[in-house]
């Protein structure tokens, strides 16, 4: 768009005699300069920004938007006599800019005013031929904007993941090729979502899609902290970052910080691995992606081992209660609207925390009549020695699976009851 704006202003300078040409973008109540030719001084820029930013302060621009027809203003040279013509706000702007005349033609795109092409003159007025030339160039700008917008839409249809809005694998490959061709140090980060299958199985694919969009948000935050980075969804639960020009240690620090600041719900997490080229090294991008993928799988296995070691200890009920609340409350807050979704999130997270494999949500239909409304987890994944703890609130009940080694008394039951109250508080 910058190149188009520059060409439009320079063409106007060559077509008619003007002091300055400006292309502005009109959005809501704002007219924002996209390009000014020739270069503008700080004093002139201050006047343009101050007086032209709000359309509500410029009646002539408001009329142009409504009528979609060009306008002219002329300030009398050296006096304020009857030779002046135009809206007072425009004449005051001309005075502040030190020019005498202005012509403004709308850039009409798809039936609406997208922007305006404006020319000013130091002396004299703009005649009908000048207005016609400005209007013709504005029409050419409109045609170019339509083409660019179409190309932009086509690009996103072909190169953007529809679920997350991130780039796709082809864009990531192209970004990696460009980065390696420059010889700068290039990092490839491969990411995998831990816990997506469990969320899909227990809470439904809509919740799984929400989780993938949250992962994309985390990667966008990382990319924003590393300018020049391309964030992409490779497919399924696999994502990547292509990071040119940043040291590997910096990339790793940014990822650790970003993921700590933006935890995922339902006990899900992102496993990631980094591979980096050396400065000036030309390596096949496939090798770099494979190395990052291998590092990601090592991280995934290490996370699984840590998860097993982190199971609650029956000898410390306070720790277990804290784990239940610290994991359950974020899961409840991130669940889809509705008591059932929140209760499923609670049951799933509590079962996982207590080392169980399966959970159930029930609801009372009548005296001594409860029906199962949701199940989750995997009975096959239940520990050899397993217990079930039931927690009630109103007409809802959750049954949480737990390892025999997990304490279920005292503070732990209180923590489960508190989380149950939060999850079902508007369902009774």
pLDDT at residue number 308: 55
The pLDDT of residue 120 is above 50: yes
Q: What is the mean pLDDT of residues 136-154?
A: 77
pLDDT at residue number 55: 66
- Helix or strand holding residue 317 (H, E): helix 317-334
Q: What is the pLDDT of residues 161-184, one digit of tens each?
A: 878 888 888 889 989 998 888 888
What are the structure tokens assigned to 142, written together?
């409109």
Q: What is the mean pLDDT of residues 389-408?
A: 82
pLDDT at residue number 381: 43
pLDDT at residue number 313: 52
Mean pLDDT, the chain, whole residue set: 80
Q: What is the mean pLDDT of residues 347-363?
A: 82
Distance, C-alpha 95 to centroid of its chain:
43
Q: Which domains does the chain have, with CATH numbers?
A: 2-158 (3.30.450.40), 169-309 (3.30.70.270), 317-424 (no CATH)
What are the structure tokens assigned to 97, written together?
């800019």
More reliable by pLDDT, 30 or 140: 140
Q: What is the pLDDT of residues 255-267, one digit of tens each?
A: 989 988 888 888 7
Q: pTM of the full predicted structure?
A: 0.45
Q: Can you tell me which residue has the tokens 């249809």?
A: 157
pLDDT at residue number 238: 92
What distance in Å separates the CA atoms of residue 362 and residue 340, rounded to the nearest whole number?
Answer: 10
More reliable by pLDDT, 65 or 160: 65
The pLDDT of residue 67 is above 60: yes
More reliable by pLDDT, 357 or 17: 17
**Res. 222 pLDDT band, cuts 50 70 90:** very high
pLDDT at residue number 12: 85
Q: What is the mean pLDDT of residues 38-66?
A: 64
Q: What is the mean pLDDT of residues 59-71?
A: 81
Angle between helices 128-159 and 2-15 (to 10 degrees): 160
pLDDT at residue number 314: 47
The pLDDT of residue 243 is above 90: yes
φ, ψ of residue 287 in degrees (nearest 5): -65, -40
Q: What is the mean pLDDT of residues 247-254?
A: 90
pLDDT at residue number 155: 53
What distance in Å separates the CA atoms of residue 410 and residue 52, rounded to the nearest whole number?
Answer: 68
Q: What is the mean pLDDT of residues 55-60?
A: 72
What distance in Å separates the CA atoms of residue 140 and residue 132, rounded to the nearest whole number?
Answer: 13
Q: Is 306 helix (H, G, I), strand (E, B) or coil?
A: helix
pLDDT at residue number 43: 54
What distance in Å separates the CA atoms of residue 346 and residue 72, rounded to the nearest whole number?
Answer: 66
Which DSSP category does 313 fall into?
P
**Res. 250 pLDDT band, cuts 50 70 90:** very high
Q: What is the pLDDT of residues 274-332, one digit of tens each?
A: 988 877 667 788 888 988 888 888 778 766 655 554 554 545 678 788 888 888 888 88
Question: What is the chain's percent helix, strand, coil content, to nearest 5?
Answer: 50, 25, 25
The pLDDT of residue 212 is above 80: yes
């Amino acid at each position: 768009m910058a190149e188009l704006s520059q060409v439009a202003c320079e063409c106007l300078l060559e077509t008619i005699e003007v002091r300055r040409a400006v292309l502005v973008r009109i959005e809501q109540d704002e007219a924002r300069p996209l390009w000014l030719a020739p270069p503008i001084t700080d004093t002139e820029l201050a006047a343009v920004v101050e007086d032209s930013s709000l359309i509500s302060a410029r009646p002539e621009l408001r009329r142009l938007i409504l009528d979609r027809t060009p306008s002219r203003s002329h300030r009398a040279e050296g006096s304020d006599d009857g030779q002046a013509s135009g809206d007072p706000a425009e004449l005051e702007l001309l005075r502040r800019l030190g020019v005498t005349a202005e012509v403004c033609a709308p850039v009409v795109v798809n039936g609406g005013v997208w922007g305006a092409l404006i020319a000013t003159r130091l002396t004299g007025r703009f005649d009908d031929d000048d207005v016609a030339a400005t209007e013709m160039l504005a029409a050419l700008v409109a045609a170019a904007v339509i083409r660019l917008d179409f190309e932009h839409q086509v690009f996103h249809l072909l190169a953007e993941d529809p679920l997350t809005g991130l780039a796709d694998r082809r864009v990531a490959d192209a970004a990696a090729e460009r980065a390696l061709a420059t010889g700068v140090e290039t990092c490839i980060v491969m990411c995998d979502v831990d816990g997506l299958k469990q969320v899909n199985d227990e809470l439904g694919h809509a919740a799984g899609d929400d989780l993938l969009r949250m992962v994309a948000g985390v990667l966008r935050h990382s990319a924003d902290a590393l300018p020049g980075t391309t964030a992409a969804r490779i497919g399924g639960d696999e994502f990547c970052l292509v990071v040119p020009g940043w040291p590997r240690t910096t990339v790793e620090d940014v990822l650790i910080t970003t993921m700590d600041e933006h935890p995922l719900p339902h006990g899900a997490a992102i496993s990631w691995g980094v591979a980096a080229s050396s400065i000036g090294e030309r390596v096949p991008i496939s090798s770099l992606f494979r190395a990052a993928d291998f590092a990601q799988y090592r991280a995934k296995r290490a996370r699984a081992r840590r998860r097993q070691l982190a199971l609650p200890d029956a000898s410390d009920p306070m720790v277990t209660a804290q784990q239940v609340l610290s994991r359950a409350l974020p899961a409840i807050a991130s669940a889809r609207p509705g008591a059932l979704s929140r209760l499923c999130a609670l049951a799933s997270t509590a079962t996982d925390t207590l080392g169980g494999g399966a959970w159930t949500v029930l609801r009372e239909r009548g005296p001594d009549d409860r029906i199962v409304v949701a199940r989750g987890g995997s009975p096959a994944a239940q520990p050899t020695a397993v217990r079930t703890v039931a927690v009630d609130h109103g007409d809802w009940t959750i049954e949480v699976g737990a390892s025999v080694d997990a304490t279920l008394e005292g503070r732990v039951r209180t923590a489960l009851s508190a989380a149950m109250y939060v999850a079902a508080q508007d369902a009774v």
